[in-house]
Amino acid sequence: MPRATSGRFSRTHQPSIKSAAASSSSKNHSANEGTSAGVRNPIFNTERFGQHILKNPQIAQTIVDKANLRPTDKVLEVGPGTGNLTVKILEKAKNVTAVEMDPRMAAELTKRVQGKCVYLSVLISSTDRLLLERPEQRKLDIIIGDFVKTDLPYFDVCISNTPYQISSPLVFRLLSHRPIFRVAILMFQREFAMRLVAQPGTELWSRLSANVQLYSKVDLVMHVGKNNFRPAPQVESSVVRLVPLNPPPPIKFEEFDGLGRIIFSRRNKMVHATFMAKGVMEMLEKNWRTWCSTQNKMIDEHTNMKTKVEEVLGSSGYSQQRAAKMTLDDLLKLLSAFHDEGIHFA
């Protein structure tokens, strides 16, 4: 089969690819390229997508190296931009699926990999795939669309210079993906990244920290300064390594997250005070009645939910604890104590 070149694109798709590329006023976007003070290339005007192109080749190489890619790996890349990470991943992996929201970026990436002996396909939508080689021969797939809504293929590793506005959805989409992948190397806004790796008792320990660490091992890889991006963001960035627990803990996420929503809504208050809020009591009583109904249990109309909750908090020993200092084990024990009394959070 012939390798992909620009002349072999289907006529059906050729105009959209070219028109997206035509919005660029510059044709050279290498990793170490600079921009003059008074000139702004529209291809890098990506703020509406929350995307900033990583331009430092050394950092790009470090990110790829930290993934410890194998020749048999299938890699999912989110937010490839103009391909500074993509081309380095392609050197080591069997296949790359790149999900890009901005058609201009996808057009730049398409042009960049053509002529580099890379087998290529472009997916415009779930029913509209442009195949340039047989599926078993493809090296790079580009999906143009919203990562959160896109059907994901099988992958072993995920690498992402994450667009800011999808940071949290991306993490939880990855953790819920099956089959479980091996590792993810993810670039985030620094504050978000530090919340992912935060420990109990620290200022940044939060519901996000607990939820992510329940299902994965996450650690900090490195910090990345704002001057390594184009356009330069207003905040600093950091890279984390996320390794899903396999098998995952047998905990229903909605239940654990529901407890966390209550606990961390007032993280520095006593747990007892947080649960005594009127809205919390009403929600727990509604959930309890629903649970009794589904379990065919008689509902004692004289049951006082406040008393019931206080008994759980007292017997578990967490009534006077603060959420900011509760560990994962603490949260799981408290969740189990509530479940033993038929009190649920989702």
79 annotated as ligand-binding? yes
Q: What architecture is the 253-340 domain classified under in CATH?
A: Orthogonal Bundle (1.10)
Model confidence band, residue 14 (pLDDT cutoffs 50, 70, 90): very low
Does residue 136 carry a pLDDT above 80? no
The separation between the first and the last C-alpha atoms of the chain, rounded to the nearest angstrom, is 53
146 annotated as ligand-binding? yes
Sign of the C-alpha dihedral computed for residues 80, 85, 88 and 92 taken in this order: negative
Model confidence band, residue 279 (pLDDT cutoffs 50, 70, 90): very high
Does residue 199 carry a pLDDT above 60? yes
Per-residue model confidence (pLDDT) at position 181: 98
152 annotated as ligand-binding? no
Mean pLDDT for 247-252 is 95
Mean pLDDT for 1-30 is 34
161 annotated as ligand-binding? yes
Least confidently predicted of 35-49, 123-137, 154-168, 257-271: 35-49
Contact 99, 49 (CB under 8 A): no
Model confidence band, residue 303 (pLDDT cutoffs 50, 70, 90): confident
Which own/partner contact pairs does 132-136 have at CB distance under 8 Å and 24+ positions apart?
132/4, 132/8, 132/9, 133/1, 133/3, 133/4, 134/1
Under DSSP, the state recorded for 322 is B
Does residue 296 carry a pLDDT above 60? yes
The average confidence (pLDDT) of the chain is: 84
Query: What secondary structure does DSSP assign to 187-239, as a single string?
Result: EEEHHHHHHHH--TTSTT--HHHHHHHHHEEEEEEEEE-GGGEESPPSS-EEE
Query: What secondary structure does DSSP assign to 44-95, as a single string?
Result: G--GGGT--EE--HHHHHHHHHHTT--TT-EEEEE--TTSTTHHHHHTT-SE
What's the pTM value of the predicted model, to 2 decimals?
0.81
Distance between CA atoms of residues 101 and 342, nearest Å: 44
**Single-letter residue type at 304:** N
Per-residue model confidence (pLDDT) at position 138: 67
Tell me which residue of 221, 287, 285, 282 sits closest to 254, measured CA to CA: 287
Mean pLDDT for 62-77 is 98
Least confidently predicted of 70-84, 187-201, 296-310, 319-333: 296-310
Does residue 37 carry a pLDDT above 80? no
Please state the domain extents for the chain: 11-20+41-244, 253-340
Distance between CA atoms of residues 85 and 56, nearest Å: 10
> What CATH number belongs to 11-20+41-244?
3.40.50.150
Mean pLDDT for 175-203 is 98
Does residue 120 carry a pLDDT above 80? no
255 annotated as ligand-binding? no
Per-residue model confidence (pLDDT) at position 134: 43
Mean pLDDT for 206-231 is 97
- Beta-bridged to residue 115, according to DSSP, are none
Least confidently predicted of 37-41, 49-53, 154-158, 185-189: 37-41
Does residue 338 carry a pLDDT above 80? yes
What distances in angstroms separate CA 337 from CA 85, 90, 192, one per listed residue? 47, 49, 31
Model confidence band, residue 237 (pLDDT cutoffs 50, 70, 90): very high
CB atoms within 10 A of CB 247: 7
Per-residue model confidence (pLDDT) at position 113: 87
